[in-house]
Amino acid sequence: MDLLQIRSSGKGTGKGFASVMAILIILCFLLPSLSAASTRSGHASFQRSIVDYRPRLNPGYKKIKRSKTKYIIVHTSELGREATLRVVSKGKWVRGGRRCTHGGHTHYVIARNGRTYRIMDKQFIADHAGLSMWDGETKISRVSIGIELVGYHYTPITNAQYRSVGKLIDILQGVYHLDDRAVLTHSQIAYGRPNRWFKKNHRGRKRCAKNFIRSKAGLGPTWPYDPDVRAGRLTADADLAKVFYGRFAQYAQLDEANIISKTNSAWAIAGEDFDSSTTVYKFPDGSVRTGQQIAAAKDWNRIPAKTVILLNQGDHVEELEEDGPVKTISDGITAWSLAGTMYNHETTIYLLPSGHIRKGSMIDDWDDLPAKTKLIIGYEGPYKLSKRQSAYNIAGNKYKDPKTIYYLPSNQLLSGNEVKDFKRLQAGTLVFLPAAM
């Protein structure tokens, strides 16, 4: 019914207007209940969609019930989906295959496509916050629920993740009667002991979920200040203070991401893991060293700009060494680890285990690619060999070059210098050439 029509209809206008007003008043009462019913229905549907990962929890993890729940802590996993699920369930391993934890590192994991996994019952304590403090209270793991968002603190959290984490937080807030200020990130609550950057206990031990934008998860503002810094219990971390308590909210900048520069130090990227054996420094010349190796040699002042830092690399260090143009995605090495912001570029080529070829521009997310996918960065093609189109016709004098890639019908990849007899290359072999820069 059009209110403007009723007002201009002349006779009966008063009755018509009264009817409309009555309808509006009824709607004012009905809409909140309809909205609540819709929310309850959405929550129920979301809860049914959660993947039960509890049977995979390490049986060595001792489950203890929490006596109270005061906080919800949001993390970024600093890994891809499969590695995240393995680590939070089974535990962390250090180089050499030695287990250093027994899992139980979170209650929920949310993959980059929004799929949510229940790692352990929310009633139990999860070992997720480590050395932590908030408002004078320590051992935050004992009074909180942990949620891991698959990804890195210097890459964007996906819209699908925000939708899922928003629903999950809303449900948990209802169960434990928590307001929005009870939702914090790991980087807000973690603190560290004195080190080469700080003489006192300090914030900044973790960068975890530094890129979490609360409004996208339907949350109001966080605390306007750090209570432990204000009380003098901890020294502030300048970078995190700007992100969480500055006048204008700042988030991880993708232009610097995990790359060392004049304004992006090892500490700013890796926090307390800067000298870990599982943190890898990939130098501009392609060589790699662990944080532990650099610490042993005391070479911190010799790390050049444009060095890339990769976290949680375990036994995969050698695979990151620049030994040729072809890279391989594995359980602990993602497309982002290898290509960074180039992962979805037109000149990044993915060769899937299925034999399909995808350009980076066709990839929606760096965590969607299966293990054993190979990639080459900065290439164009493919160009197909045929009776009329030889390797020389395609690549010219570069046809034997180590940077010219041949993809055989058998799915074998060879560099130009690895091909023994070009006359025996099968028709249908694909050639990839370095893109003109």
Tokens 């799929």, located at residue: 115
Give the pairing type, strands 98-99 and 326-328.
unpaired
What is the band of 345 on the pLDDT scale with cuts at 50, 70, 90? very high
Name the residue among 310, 255, 312 with its Cα closest to residue 321: 310
Least confident of 296-305, 371-380, 402-411: 296-305
Measured over the CA atoms of residue 78, residue 80, residue 86 and residue 92, the dihedral's sign is negative
Measured over the CA atoms of residue 351, residue 352, residue 357 and residue 363, the dihedral's sign is negative
**81-134 pLDDT per residue, tens:** 999 999 999 987 655 555 567 899 999 999 999 999 999 999 999 999 999 999
Across-strand partners of 185?
74
**242-286 pLDDT per residue, tens:** 999 987 667 665 556 888 988 888 888 888 888 888 889 989 888
Q: Which two tokens stand for residue 200?
A: 């006192």
CB atoms near residue 16 (< 10 Å): 16
Residue 98: what pLDDT? 54
CB atoms near residue 289 (< 10 Å): 18
pLDDT, greater one: 32 or 363: 363
Q: 140: Cβ–Cβ under 8 A, 6 or more apart, which residues?
A: 71, 73, 129, 132, 133, 134, 189
Total-model pTM = 0.85
Phi, psi of 73 (to 5 degrees): -110, 125
**284-322 pLDDT per residue, tens:** 888 888 898 888 888 887 889 999 988 887 766 666 776
Residue 27: what pLDDT? 63
What is the residue type of 431? V
**57-89 pLDDT per residue, tens:** 999 999 999 999 999 999 999 999 999 999 999
**170-196 pLDDT per residue, tens:** 999 999 999 999 999 999 999 999 987
Quick check: 163 pLDDT over 80? yes
CB 266 within 8 A of CB 195: no
What is the band of 46 on the pLDDT scale with cuts at 50, 70, 90? very high
310 three-state secondary structure: strand
CB 69 within 8 A of CB 178: yes
**CA pair distance 308, 260, nearest whole angstrom:** 6
Quick check: 218 pLDDT over 90? yes
pLDDT, greater one: 93 or 12: 93
CB 204 within 8 A of CB 97: no
Interval 346-360 mean pLDDT: 96
Between the two ends of the chain, the Cα-to-Cα distance in Å is 63
Q: Which two tokens stand for residue 257?
A: 């991401």
What is the band of 36 on the pLDDT scale with cuts at 50, 70, 90? low
Residue 8: what pLDDT? 37
51 three-state secondary structure: strand
Q: Is 128 exposed, middle or buried (0-12, 13-18, 19+ CB in 10 A)?
A: buried
Domains, in order of start, for the chain: 54-245 (3.40.80.10), 257-322 (no CATH)
Tokens 């700009």, located at residue: 305
What is the residue type of 109? V
Residue 2: what pLDDT? 35
Interval 25-34 mean pLDDT: 65
Average model confidence (pLDDT) for the chain?
Answer: 88
User: Could you give the percent of the chain with pLDDT greater than 70?
Assistant: 87
Interval 200-229 mean pLDDT: 95
What ranges in 278-357 are assigned the alpha helix state H? 291-297, 335-339
What is the C-alpha R_g of the chain? 27
Q: Which two tokens stand for residue 413?
A: 């990849």
